[in-house]
Amino acid sequence: MDKEGGLVTRPPLLVGASNYDYWKSRMMAFLKQIDSKTWKAVLRGWTPPVKMDKDGKPTLELKPDEEWSKEEDELALANSKALYALYNGVDKHIFRLIKKCVSAKEAWNILETVHEGTSKVKMSRLQLLTTKFENLRMNDDETIQEFHMTILDYDNQFDALGEKIPEEKLVRKMLRSLPNKFDMKVTAIEEAKDITEMKLDELVGSLQTYEVATNERMDKKNKSIAFVSNAEEEDQQSDTESESSISDAMVLLGKQFNKVLKRMDKRSKTSAADTGRNTYRNFRKPVTDEKSAPNKGVQCHECEGYGHIITECATFLKKQKKGLTVSWSDEDSEEEADTAKSIHALTGVCTSDTESCDEELTFDELAESYRELCLKSEEVCRVSEKQKETITKLQTERTVNLAKISEFGNKCEESLRTIEEQKATIISIEADKVKQQTEIAHLNEELKLVKQRIIMGKGG
């Protein structure tokens, strides 16, 4: 676990590829703060001083430390400081890679090759990272601050691979990746401001302000919504707006209405017929009672006037445009008050090409129509549930496939890192081989000189 705010005199610790990008930036700053020559020793490299021959040309013989000049001492000191910082900035496993390094540049290059790879590996990793960056989207439960940090992580990874992402591209990526609830804000920003000159921090601040205001409005809205229920079966119903709650409400309404229908069926046929006539008098052709009003003519059942029927009544025609409301009679509502607290009326619009309807709409026909509607509603609910199960199954398969893809990607990266570590080991072995060959050549030169001295001593 990385510790934030470490000592300025202690180099950052490299534990593997997981924190290499983070470690590289901090180690560069650490080497530069020691002194300028220390960082230059990493950039330029350092080789041990050698002796010069009579013509001023360098030989293979190393110069003794006591014969070094002041400038050579300073360069060697800078290299030692950088190499010491690198030795202390890696764990014991990574230290094996740079243990035999003499110069800081050599150690730095080995660590860079192992964790970043060669140019071909960098290109492969860059393509993979580009694909992930293009597919990046902000989740609905994710905040602007969290998504901002995710984009910055991708930006740092691109920078570590040697590719700089322009500020404009980061701004456009964030605008394209936001959820639908930010559509209005995105449109306003694109119309009011110049995206090419906009900074990412400025965009994040504006989006955070909008996010806070939106969350406050949603909280107030959720607190102000209340669902009122008049039936005892609705007391425990949740106040959500999901499809499942709507289906439950429909089933509950059907149960309540069926209870009323059962009680209505128990009545006598005469009472049921009278109730049907009183209830649906607006849908049938009015029957005139000539005996009760022989001198006044036909009576309208809507306005109770005489001389016209209901289809010719102006009051009825106005109500017909808005919709007809059918309710239970006053007598029935008093009888059913104890069993049903509140029964809402069925509403409908009656349209006909003729002026009147010759057939009477009976209670049994209404009940049968309602039962058919209930069956259709149940069928629709079953189809909806099957579709929900299919969607859930597909989402689960998608999650599993994405997890497999991520796992394969991790294995690929791990394999690449293993290959690079092996390459670095080979490079280290080859470097040791070159050093040993140099030492062998140096020993051969010394052996020749010794033989020449022996021959000269014998000749003298």
- pLDDT at position 80 is 92
Tell whether the model's pLDDT for residue 273 goes beyond 80.
Answer: no
Distance CA(83)–CA(31), nearest Å, equals: 10
Tell whether the model's pLDDT for residue 25 goes beyond 60.
Answer: yes
Tell whether the model's pLDDT for residue 262 goes beyond 90.
Answer: no
Backbone angles phi, psi at 326, to 5 degrees: -105, 125
Provide the 10 A C-beta neighbour count for residue 122. 15
For the stretch 387-420, pLDDT in tens is 999 998 999 888 889 888 988 888 888 888 888 7
Percent of the chain scored above 90 by pLDDT?
12
Residue with the bigger pLDDT between 188 and 223: it is 188
pLDDT, mean over the chain: 75
The tokens describing 168, both together, are 């404009």
Give the lowest-confidence range in 8-12, 93-97, 312-316, 360-364.
360-364
- pTM of the complete model: 0.42
Number of residues assigned to the chain: 460
Average pLDDT, integer, range 232-246: 50
Distance CA(319)–CA(301), nearest Å, equals: 14
Average pLDDT, integer, range 424-439: 81
Give the lowest-confidence range in 81-95, 129-143, 146-160, 208-222.
208-222
pLDDT winner (highest mean) among 44-58, 144-158, 345-359, 442-456: 144-158
Distance CA(175)–CA(144), nearest Å, equals: 11
Percent of the chain scored above 70 by pLDDT?
70
The tokens describing 175, both together, are 């605008």
Tell whether the model's pLDDT for residue 64 goes beyond 60.
Answer: yes
> Which sign, positive or negative, has the C-alpha torsion 167, 172, 175, 177?
negative
For the stretch 415-431, pLDDT in tens is 888 887 888 788 878 87
For the stretch 169-191, pLDDT in tens is 999 998 999 998 888 888 888 88
- For residues 178, 181, 185 and 187, what is the CA-based torsion angle, rounded to 10 degrees? 80
Residue with tokens 């590996």, as numbered in its chain: 121
3-state SS, one letter per residue, for the chain = CCCCCCCCCCCCCECCHHHHHHHHHHHHHHHHHHCHHHHHHHHHCCCCCEEECCCCCEEEEECCHHHCCHHHHHHHHHHHHHHHHHHHCECHHHHHHHCCCCCHHHHHHHHHHHHHCCHHHHHHHHHHHHHHHHCCCCCCCCCHHHHHHHHHHHHHHHHHCCCCCCHHHHHHHHHHCCCHHHHHHHHHHHHHCCHHHCCHHHHHHHHHHHHHHHHHHHHHHHHHCCCCCCCHHHCCCCCCCCHHHHHHHHHHHHHHHHHHHHHHHCCCHHHHHHHHHHHCCCCCCCCCCCCCCCCCCCECCCCCCECCCHHHCHHHHHHHHHCEEECCCHHHHHHCCCCCCCCCCEEECCCCCCCCCCCCCCHHHHHHHHHHHHHHHHHHHHHHHHHHHHHHHHHHHHHHHHHHHHHHHHHHHHHHHHHHHHHHHHHHHHHHHHHHHHHHHHHHHHHHHHHHHHHHHHHC
